[in-house]
Amino acid sequence: MSVPEVVREIIGRNRAIFDCMKMDLINYTALAVKIQPDVEKILGNSVNLNTIVVAIKRYADSFEVKDEVEEKSVLKNARLALTDGIIDIKFSKNNSLDIDPLAILDQFSKITSNYDFFRSSDSFRFLIEDIDGIRRIFDSLPNQEDIFSTGLAKIRISIPSNQNKSDVVSYVAEVLHDNGIELVNAFFSQDNIIIILSEKDASRAYDVLHTDIIRAS
């Protein structure tokens, strides 16, 4: 991911910052200082503060451009796949010393094909169906309450390759927020964008996004 992509993802996850930016009520340098540690953590290397400021300003400028042209859903021609009963299993550097992600993925593949794996500079995590077979893989681990997040659902958003994916997370966050639904998290994979929600909101979130896709078609 590039610095602008990471900046857009971080801002898209934070509703307060996103709203303030849209209303032009935020100091770009102060915001850059605030999110610099997160940007560097995701990219795994140091990033010049001015580079982040420029990325923030360009992202803010994009709102003005969108307001000048006819509104068009970035979800046009997208495909959605909803999976409820998801468990988020996260290992940080501190609690992953004896964990082999490849060995775990191999065990997952014998139980289900519906899982995702994401790695960052300081952690890795699995998103997978919360079923007994999966739980048993981690029976021997201590402090499971610090590793598992349950009661979740995921919506996989597949965008055609010829469409821009960079604004999808912020757009989806805005559409769902307007309908009283907040994201828990969001992840980019090579071909998809995955949003994580509370399971109780998942069905309605799917309907809201599906309606948006139909309207844009």
pLDDT in tens, 122-163: 778 889 888 888 888 887 776 767 788 899 999 999 988 777
Please report the pLDDT score of residue 51 as a whole number: 92
Indicate whether 167 pLDDT > 90: no
Q: Across residues 185-214, what is the average pLDDT? A: 88
pLDDT of residue 70: 40
CA distance linking residue 73 with residue 214, whole number of Å:
10
Mean pLDDT across 200-212: 93
Residue pointed to by tokens 């659902």: 153
| pLDDT tens figures, 33-70 | 999 999 999 898 999 999 999 999 988 887 765 544 34
Question: Using 50, 70 and 90 to split pLDDT, how confident is the model at 86?
Answer: very high
Q: Using the predicted structure, report yes or no on whether residue 99 has a pLDDT greater than 90.
A: no
Greater confidence (152 vs 174) lies with: 152
Cβ-contact 95, 146 below 8 angstroms: yes
**pTM of this structure:** 0.63
Residues comprising the chain, all counted: 217
Its CATH class, for the domain covering 75-217, is alpha beta
Q: What is the mean pLDDT of the chain?
A: 83
Q: Which two tokens stand for residue 151?
A: 């009661």
Q: Which two tokens stand for residue 89?
A: 């299993």
The domain limits of the chain are: 3-68, 75-217
d(CA 185, CA 97): 25
38 contacts 22 by C-beta, under 8 angstroms:
no
Tokens 């300081």 sit at which residue?
A: 122
Residue 105: the pLDDT is 86
For residue 116, which of 157, 76, 78 has the smallest C-alpha distance? 157
